[in-house]
């Protein structure tokens, strides 16, 4: 590998001049600057990140701590984080806690086991000269692992923090559900079944709030008999459809595409034509929704934008100078990214 000193010798300038030009600090002639940049490109010179980190006490490396890479939301979010970090010459290391692989969807009730998994990861991060951390959750919840006393900048991604120092980037569940239910009402539906996840889940609560808001604004009374709580599985979508069809619904809103697959299963068994006899809407725009027939009207998650905003927030924290005025707040910063509807063939007018 070509060294900084060798680039300087080729250009006939000092190593300090080369370093300053590369870092945008040197006020030298345009001819010299262009010559240095040309030689850097021709030789493929890359700064020694380790040496640079030792001098600046920064490694330009961030850690992503993912609850589980197998969660369908995680790969796209993480790829977007990495892409945006690389644009500013930051390296990324990824730690996979494998929480869902270990304990399926029951791990968040296992505080001791969770701490036993994350504690060694945090020790690794703290000992590796990492500049900051992005925590990528598998579903929305309040993460208490990081607080105001944590020694590194942190951004919470797809989850919430209790700390005013730790911003959170999440999807706008309530507004997105509101948009979908408003669309169903606009197509003439008044009795709309809501098939949710677990009753204590943040996604379920916020999407139900959006459902209720849309009903209220259209002058429709909320009927709790039209709400079914499942467990995010395909089977719970099947059971929810069977239960709610007894309530004479004209539309079913499954708040995950996986559960909506169960809705389709039940309706096909009963020879009820989706998009004709009954309307169905989903949420997530997950890959499986491409295989539904008729094509599913659903809501696409802004996963790339969530990753991008999370990276921007952390990199801004890392790049801001000591002299830059920092906003002091006692309320956690929550950035909600809107979803987008995908109108297809499973909803019809009545």
Residue 213 has pLDDT above 80, yes or no: yes
Model pTM score: 0.81
- Give me the chain's average pLDDT, please: 90
Model confidence pLDDT, tens digit, residues 8-30: 899 898 888 888 887 666 577 88
* Structural domains in the chain plus CATH codes: 4-47 (1.10.260.40), 55-171+303-338 (3.40.50.2300), 173-301 (3.40.50.2300)
The reported pLDDT for the residue numbered 47 is 65
Q: Which residues pair with 281 in a beta bridge?
A: 253, 297
- In 3D space, the residue among 320, 288, 285, 313 whose CA is nearest the CA of residue 170 turns out to be 313
Segment 131-185, tens digit of pLDDT: 999 999 999 999 988 887 788 999 999 999 989 889 999 999 999 999 999 999 9
Reference 282, options 264, 294, 299, 265; nearest CA is: 299
Q: Which residue is it, tokens 């007018």?
A: 349
Of residues 262 and 33, more confidence is placed in 262
DSSP character at residue 104: T
- Using the predicted structure, report yes or no on whether residue 49 has a pLDDT greater than 70: no
Query: Whats the size of the chain, residue-wise?
Result: 350
Predicted local confidence at residue 150, as pLDDT? 87
The better pLDDT of the pair 318, 54 is held by: 318
Round to whole Å and give the CA distance between 174 and 340: 13
pLDDT at 54: 42
**Largest CA-CA distance found in the chain, in angstroms, rounded:** 84
| pLDDT of 66 higher than 90 | yes
CA 148 to chain centre: 22
Question: What is the structure's pLDDT at 326?
Answer: 55
How much is the pLDDT for 227? 98
* Confidence tier at 71 by pLDDT (50, 70, 90): very high
**Residues 6+ away with beta carbon under 8 Å from 236:** 195, 230, 259, 262
């Amino acid at each position: 590998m070509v060294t900084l000193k060798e680039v300087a010798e080729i250009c006939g300038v000092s190593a300090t001049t080369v370093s300053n030009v590369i870092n945008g600090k040197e006020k030298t002639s345009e001819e010299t600057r262009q010559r240095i940049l040309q030689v850097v490109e021709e030789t493929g010179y890359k700064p020694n990140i380790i040496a640079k980190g030792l001098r600046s006490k920064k490694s330009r490396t961030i850690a992503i701590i993912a609850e589980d890479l197998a969660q369908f939301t995680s790969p796209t979010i993480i790829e977007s984080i990495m892409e945006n970090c690389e644009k500013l010459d930051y390296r990324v290391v990824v730690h996979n806690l494998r929480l869902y692989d270990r304990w399926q969807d029951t791990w968040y009730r296992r505080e001791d086991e969770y701490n036993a998994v994350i504690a060694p990861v945090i020790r690794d991060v703290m000992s590796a000269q990492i500049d900051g951390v992005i925590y990528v959750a598998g579903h929305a919840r309040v993460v208490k692992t990081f607080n105001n006393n944590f020694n590194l900048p942190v951004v919470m991604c797809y989850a919430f923090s209790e700390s005013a120092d730790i911003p959170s980037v999440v999807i706008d569940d309530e507004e997105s559900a509101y948009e979908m239910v408003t669309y169903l009402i606009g197509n003439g539906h008044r009795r709309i079944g809501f098939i949710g996840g677990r009753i204590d889940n943040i996604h379920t609560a916020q999407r139900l709030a959006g459902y209720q808001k849309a009903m209220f604004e259209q002058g429709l009374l909320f009927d709790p008999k039209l709400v079914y709580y499942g467990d995010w599985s395909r089977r719970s979508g099947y059971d929810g459809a069977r239960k709610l069809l007894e309530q004479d619904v004209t539309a079913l809103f499954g708040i995950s595409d996986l559960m909506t697959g169960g809705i389709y299963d039940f309706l096909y068994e009963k020879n009820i034509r989706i998009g004709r006899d009954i309307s169905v809407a989903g949420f997530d725009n997950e890959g499986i929704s491409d295989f539904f027939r008729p094509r599913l009207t659903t809501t696409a998650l802004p996963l790339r934008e969530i990753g991008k905003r999370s990276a921007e927030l952390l990199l801004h924290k890392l790049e801001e100078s000591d002299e830059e005025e920092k906003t002091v707040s006692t309320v956690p910063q929550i950035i909600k990214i809107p979803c987008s509807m995908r109108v297809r063939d499973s909803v019809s007018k009545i």
